[in-house]
Structure 1
Amino acid sequence: MHKIPTLFLRDPENRKRLLPEVAPECAWVTEGEGVATRKYDGTCVLRDEAGKWWARREVRPGRAAPPGYLALSTDPVTGKAMGWEPMGGSTFLRFHTEALAGGEDFAPGTYELVGPRINGNPESVARHTLLRHGWAAPEVAADFAAAPRDFAGLRAWVTARPYEGIVWHHPDGRRAKLKVRDFGA
C-alpha cells in the first residue's frame, strides 16, 4: 500500500489547491487508460493472504511507530511514513469487529471501513461496514465509467456528486485519485 498520487499537480504555494497540470506519473489517466471507481470516505484496511487484518496508518516524522507496524513508503514532501498497523492495536478495532459480525467471508485485499463512528459517517451507513475497494453498485459503476478525464470536466463532474472522489485503477496496478475537496468543495 502506497499513497495514491493525485491526478493533478498541487500548487507549491498552497498544497490544498490543484493546478490544471497532470502529474507525470498519472498521465495514463488522461490518455484514457484505467478504470474509474468510486472513492469511499472511511479508513483503509487490509486482509492479507494469511487472513490477518491490518489498518492503514501514517506515522509523522519524529513519532514512534506502533508495535508490529509495517512501514511501506515515506512521503518525500511531508516525511510521513505510510504502512499497516495490526488491527488488534488500531483505534478502529471495535468498529472493524462490528463490520465483521455479519459473518461474511472476506477475500484477501483492501477494503474501506465506513460507519457511524468513522469520519463523521459521510457514507451515511447505519452500521460499520467493509466495502471492497473498486466495488460499486452497477449504476454507480456506469456513472464512473463515463467520467471525464480533463481538469475542467473533472472539476464539474466530482463536485456535482455526493462522493468523496474518484480512483482510477490501471491494469498494471498503478492508481491515481482525485477528491472533491481538491477543488475546494
Structure 2
Amino acid sequence: MKKISTLFKKDPNNLGRVINEINPENSWVLNGEGIATRKFDGTSVAIIGGVLHKRYDVKKGRTVPENAIPCQEADSLSGHHPHWLRCERAKKEDQFFFEAFDALPEIVDGTYELCGPKIQGNPEKLDRHVLIPHGKEIMEITDFGFEAFRTLLSDKNTYIEGIVFHHIADGRMCKIRKKDFGIKR
C-alpha cells in the first residue's frame, strides 16, 4: 500500500500541518467521487496470496530485505521506500500480527490496519489485537470545508485518527488526520 496524500496541501513552513487549500490531485473528493471511511490508528498489514505481510519502510541508505515487495517508487525527497515484508511466526516481533491474523474468521487478501494493546500505544483502546480491513467503516461527510474537518476531528465525541477517502471509480485515496491540524488524539 503506497503512502497517500492529504486532502489539503501541506503547510510549506511546517510539513506536519495542512493549509486551507485543496490538493489539486484530490479535488475529486469535492466532486463527490469518493467514499469517506474511518482511518484507524495502528500499523499497515497486507494479506497477499493468503500470506501475512507488514509494511517496512526502507529508508535512504538502507538495503531492501530479500523478498520484500515494493509498494511504490522511493520518495525522491525523503528517500523513503515502503515495502511489504512477509511476517514470520518464529520472530517474536511478529507475534501480535499473527495473534490478529489467526483470529480472522476468513483469510481475505487485501490491506488492513493492525490495532491492539501493543500497537502504537493502543489509541483505539482495544483489549486484543485485531486486523481491521481498510475502508471498513464508512462515514457520512456533508461539509468538505477546512474548518468543518478541523471541527469534526477536534470533537471529543469523534474519537478517530482521521478520514480516508476512496475514489469510487479508480481506487485513488487521500486522507485527513487530526495531526494535520495539530490536534492530539
Shared fold per TM-score greater than 0.5: yes
Q: From the two aligned structures, give the one with the greater helix fraction.
A: 1
1:179 aligns with 2:180: no
Q: Which residue of 1 aligns with 2:143?
A: 148
1:65–1:91 distance in 2 versus 1, CA, 3 Å: farther
1:162 aligns with 2:159: yes
Q: CA RMSD in A?
A: 1.7
Deviations 1:43-82 (A, max 9, x none): 111111x211111121110112223212222223311001
CA distance in 1, matches of 2:160, 2:142: 13
CA contact (8 A) 1:28 1:34 kept: yes
Q: Which residue of 2 aligns with 1:117?
A: 118
The offset of 1:15, in angstroms, is 0.7
CA distance in 1, matches of 2:75, 2:95: 29
* Equivalent position SS for 2:96: helix
Q: Which residue of 1 aligns with 2:8?
A: 8
CA contact (8 A) 2:17 2:179 kept: no
Give runs of ≥4 in structure 1 deviating > 3 Å: 89-92
CA contact (8 A) 1:148 1:157 kept: no
Within a 5 Å distance, the mapping from 1:11-160 to structure 2 comes to 11-48=11-48, 50-71=49-70, 72-88=72-88, 92-102=93-103, 104-136=105-137, 141=138, 144-160=139-155
Q: How many aligned positions are there? A: 178
Deviations 1:91-143 (A, max 9, x none): 7510011113325212111111101110000011101111111112xxxx3xx
CA distance in 1, matches of 2:147, 2:153: 10
CA contact (8 A) 1:36 1:147 kept: no
CA contact (8 A) 1:98 1:128 kept: yes
CA distance in 2, matches of 1:42, 1:28: 27
1:13–1:103 distance in 2 versus 1, CA, 3 Å: closer
CA contact (8 A) 2:103 2:130 kept: no
CA distance in 2, matches of 1:2, 1:38: 18
CA distance in 2, matches of 1:35, 1:63: 37
CA distance in 2, matches of 1:45, 1:91: 17
CA distance in 2, matches of 1:31, 1:10: 21
